[in-house]
Amino acid sequence: MDKLIVEKSGPLSGTVTISGSKNAALPILMACILPTGRIELQNVPRLADIRTSCKLLNILGCNTSFEGNTVVIECGQLNPHAPYELVKTMRASVLCLGPLLAVLGEARVSMPGGCAIGARPVDIHLTGLEQLGATFELEEGYIIGRTDGLKGAHIVMRFPSVGATEHLIMAAAMAEGETVIENAAREPEVADLANFLNACGARIEGQGTSVIRIEGVNGLRGTTYRVMSDRIEAGTFMMAAPLTGGELLLEHCPLPELDAVAVKLREMGVCIEEVAGGVRVACGDDLVGVDVETMPYPGFPTDMQAQITTLMCSAKGLSMVEENIFENRFMHVMELNRMGADIKVKGHTAIIKGMRKLVGAPVMASDLRASASLVLAGLVAEGKTEVQRIYHLDRGYEKMEDKLTAVGARITRVRA
């Protein structure tokens, strides 16, 4: 099992090219079950989760091939069975359920797995699909879905779940009649999925707002589409620059989609500006503590909580982080405390006492974003930090150690 050895580095300096968005590419790949014809997806990051999605599509009857950062998909005779061996490793795999029901009228999909950051139940997905005309049974860990034909419905979601919103958009795209989704997730990745489907001939409007309207169509066609840049990867590198006292130019940085992050970083004293070629991020005056609450978009993203917690360890005064999305997303705190941080957690709130000197230590990643926060901590910790279980990191960051090394970090991947 691979691990990263991170040594204290000087100020990072240089240019980082932001990859395509994992969180946008995954649902778009599952949506490729719907159209007939050749689909070419550009700007797709080469990540473990993407490879898993392509393996799943191959099993389901779609031929996929990677050419650089472009994936070509052509679906043939579809198979309705999504096996446990693949779905258990990646939660987004459950998103094949709706498209299979829309095309075949049946599906057998394993209950999903993924990061251990909370329950993340699929009941919102299933409730919405039932309103569209599907029925479900649970059998030996599998979701068995059937329908005589999906029909449009008025769906009011009890929580603006990103995955459920994406799932319902896909299923409704070829359902009979109009579907209205209220209290829909507003994340940019949801809008990217809707824009892809519209490029395939779907009729979706309102994406990016809390009310999405879908007029079902009889069929979708292949297309060429460029996936949006990864705002979470961009946000992570926006933390790395001020943490090390450095300056980075981020190419293809989706700054408008990072507004909530940029606001908090500027409050902390970070300089962020759009310049020719990208977004410049630099350490300004001494960092100061701030308070952060994670919220659904356009609020501060839960996927940036662990990274800003690490940055807060180097800020003056006290900082507070309130996690409102996932109930088990402070597992990185124990590892940061082992490195010398002073963080106290009570319920879903963490209090960080800043200006602590971090010291390198063996640490274990518990999930994708926690692994990124520990790598960041290692950049400023005295000595060496050994980040174990980096398969989590490989699920969401394309060549992170290579990108960091290119701008001055001292980081090495060690194969066990």
| Residues labelled catalytic | 115
For 269-318, the DSSP string reads: TEEEEEETTEEEEEE-S--B--EEEB-STTSB-GGGHHHHHHHHTTSBSE
Give 62's strand partners: 75
- Residues in contact with 312: Cβ distance below 8 Å, sequence separation at least 6, in sequence order: 289, 290, 319, 321, 352, 354
What region, left, alpha or beta, does residue 150 occupy, with left being phi > 0 and alpha being psi -120 to 50 degrees? beta
Listed residue (93, 120, 125, 122) closest to 109, CA to CA: 93
Listed residue (95, 77, 64, 93) closest to 36, CA to CA: 77
The H or E element spanning position 249 is strand 247-251
- Can you tell me the distance from the alpha carbon of 61 to that of 73, in angstroms, rounded to the nearest whole number? 10
User: What's phi and psi for 108, nearest 5 deg?
Assistant: -135, 100
255-262: long-range contacts (C-beta < 8 A, 24 or more apart)? 255/279, 257/188, 257/228, 257/231, 258/231, 258/234, 259/298, 260/298, 260/299, 260/300, 260/301, 261/235, 261/300, 261/301, 261/304, 261/308, 262/238
The H or E element spanning position 97 is helix 97-104
- Can you tell me the distance from the alpha carbon of 143 to that of 216, in angstroms, rounded to the nearest whole number? 24
- Can you tell me the distance from the alpha carbon of 388 to that of 378, in angstroms, rounded to the nearest whole number? 12
Q: Which two structure tokens, joined as six digits, stand for 326?
A: 């996932």
Listed residue (99, 168, 165) closest to 131, CA to CA: 168
